[in-house]
Amino acid sequence: MKKKQNLRDIDTRKHSGEHSHDDGHNHSSPEKASKFRTYLPAIFSFVMLIAGIAVDFFDAFPFFTGWIRILWYVVAYIPVGFPVIIEGWKSIKNGDFFTEFLLMSIATLGAFAIGEYPEGVAVMLFYAVGELFQSAAVKKAKGNIKALLDVRPNEALVYRDGDFVSVNPETVEVGEKVQVRVGEKIPLDGKLLSEKASLNTAAITGESKPDTIAKGEKVFAGSINLDGVIEIKTTKEFKDSSIARILDMVQNATARKSKTELFIRKFAKIYTPIVVFLAIALTFLPYFFVDDYVFSDWLYRALIFLVISCPCALVISIPLGYFGGLGAASKNGILFKGASYLDEMTKVNTVVMDKTGTVTKGVFKIKEIKAIDWEESEFMKYLMAIEEQSTHPIAKAILEYKAEGADFEASEVSEVAGKGLKGTVNGKTVLVGNKALMTSHNIEVPAETESIVESIVMVSIDGQFAGYVTIADELKEDAHEAIEQIRKAGISRIIMLSGDKDSITKEVGREMGVDSAMGGLLPEDKLNEVERLQKETGTTVAFIGDGINDAPVLATSDVGMAMGGLGSDVAIETADVIIQTDQPSKIARAIKIGRSTRKIVWQNIALAFGVKIAVMVLGAFGMATMWEAVFADVGVAFLAILNAIRLQKMNWK
């Protein structure tokens, strides 16, 4: 269930393109008014209840008796009680007789029947407030699956009638020519008409390095054009494009995904009929066993029994336990989209994670410099002089190198398509590129380069191999700690799946110590692998990712976790849990918070049951008064609240 609210709003980090309104007005006031209307019935009932109790206690108004007093508390009861009674009646009509709505209705109306009007209002008010808290948390934390539509290209420049015109991508036909400017998304799948293109394909493949495409090669919708205006010829309609398929997978996976039902719903199906039948038995069975049976006396005991048995403490303590967990997670930069995911997190025994942007920074850095027969600094000056003429992200990483002394200047720099650059530096011919460039100029490449899995830039100076530089996506500072902490949390299996090259993915996997790593995967490949894991008996999978390409897997996994700082909006909207600080070490912390929350909730359940059973037994024998009933409700609820607050004080590091 996804609500219409972007999670970035919660972290006050709105995406520049989100929620743009044509009228340009501020919509916060209507939203605040809507929230106030939601809480108004509970506020009204609370004010009426407190006023009535105050008048009762101080006996300030002699006329506050009889029908006036009853009417006062009835008016206080209706705003919070009437909706519950209606829900109970609807449930009965649907064949579901024993719900918490029925029990709340019988118990509170029973309190009115025995003259305990404040208690009847208070119990229903507690219940209503608990439901409002739960509803507010869900509305605040849930994303809307429809927000996925925002990531689709919303226009295409199509060549029609001698000019490029902007149209909706859904109206573009197969075979039409489309122009894509720098920084824009390719709107449909097609083939490149231009000589070359540099594309960011991370949204589709997860590949961390921009892809250089040559004329005639395939391009995919959702890829971003990084360099120069390009033209493509469409090969598929929009509905069949790569980005549309990803969106479809996300929507279908979300529909397939079962959500954990709140405990109180399942509990009420057992608890409610037991309590109702016990109350009925308490009213009528004594007739057959008690000599001086008086119907009104046993009815009175039965009603007190119902009031005591009302699950007020559970209604409050269970959601408050979860809210305590949600609050503790929020303070630690982790956002759960509802209490059910705290529960689901406790069952996770297999963690599957993406690589780029999840455990790596997604930023290229020089990993190794190997200069042969050259001083490193001088070697790098030759390389940097050539790379200054390039706008490729790898060139930018190389140019971050700081060399002492004056920089060299390059001249006559030209590009060798698909291989690299050639130019003149200090009168020397310099080649910078891949092995194919070296081979095409009869330059012998050392055998050691064959085993290098990272991106490699080779350099030759005046026909001699001068060395190479390896470029790699840098691991996040806490990546190793993340794996260590996940292991300590009792997770039996850690797997890495990535759209990046298989060799790079396996190398990163070995460095981090995961159980297995696979690369070169498309979104559907990741989805198939996670679904295969889920079919294994007793396996609960948490998937951690950050890109659009991760969205289908985030949606179908048992718990989907997204990197919220730099992650794509689609991943954030689709995931069940958001790590707002982009730190993978928070994965284990989320698991710990989920387990502690569940522990607190079950402590509260045991406390509520223990006290209530004791007081109900006393009530059945006529040894409990409404004071004990109040303690069984309000007192236990207060103790449960204090227990839940402990979650906010714990150290999760």
pLDDT at 17: 36
- pLDDT reading at 182 higher than 80: yes
* 467 φ, ψ (degrees, to nearest 5): 140, -170
Instruction: Output the CA angle 265-266-268, nearest 5 degrees.
Output: 70
Strands 177-180 and 230-234: antiparallel
CA 355 to CA 351: how far, in whole Å?
13
DSSP states along 612-648: HHHHHHHHHTT---HHHHHIIIIIHHHHHHHHHHHHH
Residue 426 has pLDDT above 50, yes or no: yes
- If you average pLDDT over residues 454-459, what whole number do you get? 89
Quick count: other Cβ atoms within 10 Å of Cβ 81? Answer: 25
Half-sphere exposure (Cβ direction) of 68: Cα atoms closer than 13 Å: 8
Give the count of beta carbons closer than 10 Å to the beta carbon of residue 451.
Answer: 7
Kindly tell me if the per-residue pLDDT of 242 is higher than 50: yes
Mind listing the pLDDT tens digit for each residue in 386-412?
Answer: 998 886 778 888 888 887 777 899 999
* pLDDT value at 165 more than 90: yes
User: Within the chain, which residue ranges are assigned CATH 3.40.1110.10?
Assistant: 362-475
pLDDT digits over 44-90, tens only?
Answer: 999 999 999 999 888 778 888 889 999 999 999 999 999 989 988 99
CATH H-level superfamily of 362-475: Calcium-transporting ATPase, cytoplasmic domain N (3.40.1110.10)
Q: What pLDDT score was predicted for residue 65? A: 87
Active site residues: 354
What secondary structure does DSSP assign to 202-245, as a single string?
Answer: HHHH--SSPEEEETT-EE-TT-EE-SS-EEEEE-S-GGGSHHHH
pLDDT of the residue at 351: 96
* H/E run at residue 544: strand 541-545
CA atoms within 13 A on the CB side of 184: 18
Stretch among 85-94, 283-292, 638-647 having the lowest mean pLDDT: 638-647
Three-state secondary-structure class, residue 495: strand
Helical pair 479-488 and 502-512, crossing angle rounded to 10 deg: 60
Residue 81 tokens read as 């009680």
Q: Indicate the CATH number for domain 153-243.
A: 2.70.150.10
Contact 348, 558 (CB under 8 A): yes
- More confident position, 74 or 212: 74
Distance between CA atoms of residues 274 and 257, nearest Å: 32
Question: What percent of the chain shows pLDDT beyond 90?
Answer: 28
- Kindly give the pairing relationship between strand 464-475 and strand 455-461: antiparallel
Tens digits of per-residue pLDDT, 338-391?
777 888 899 999 999 998 888 888 777 888 899 998 999 999 999 999 998 886
**How distant is the alpha carbon of residue 526 from its chain centre?**
18
**Residue 306: pLDDT over 60:** yes
Cβ-proximal residues to 354 (8 Å cutoff; 6+ apart), any chain: 206, 496, 497, 498, 526, 543, 544, 545, 546, 547, 550
Say whether pLDDT at 627 is over 70: no
505-534 per-position pLDDT tens digit: 898 899 999 999 998 888 888 999 999 999
Q: How far, in Å, CA of 129 to CA of 42, rounded?
A: 7
Of residues 459 and 210, more confidently modeled:
459
434 versus 573: the higher-pLDDT residue is 434
* Cα 618 → chain centroid: 47
Give the residue range(s) of CATH 2.70.150.10 domains in the chain: 153-243
E strand or H helix at 304: helix 295-309
Cβ neighbors of 53 (< 8 A, separation 6 or more) are: 118
Task: Give me 339's structure tokens.
Answer: 């209490």
- State which H helix or E strand residue 542 sits in: strand 541-545
> Cβ(351)–Cβ(542) under 8 Å?
yes
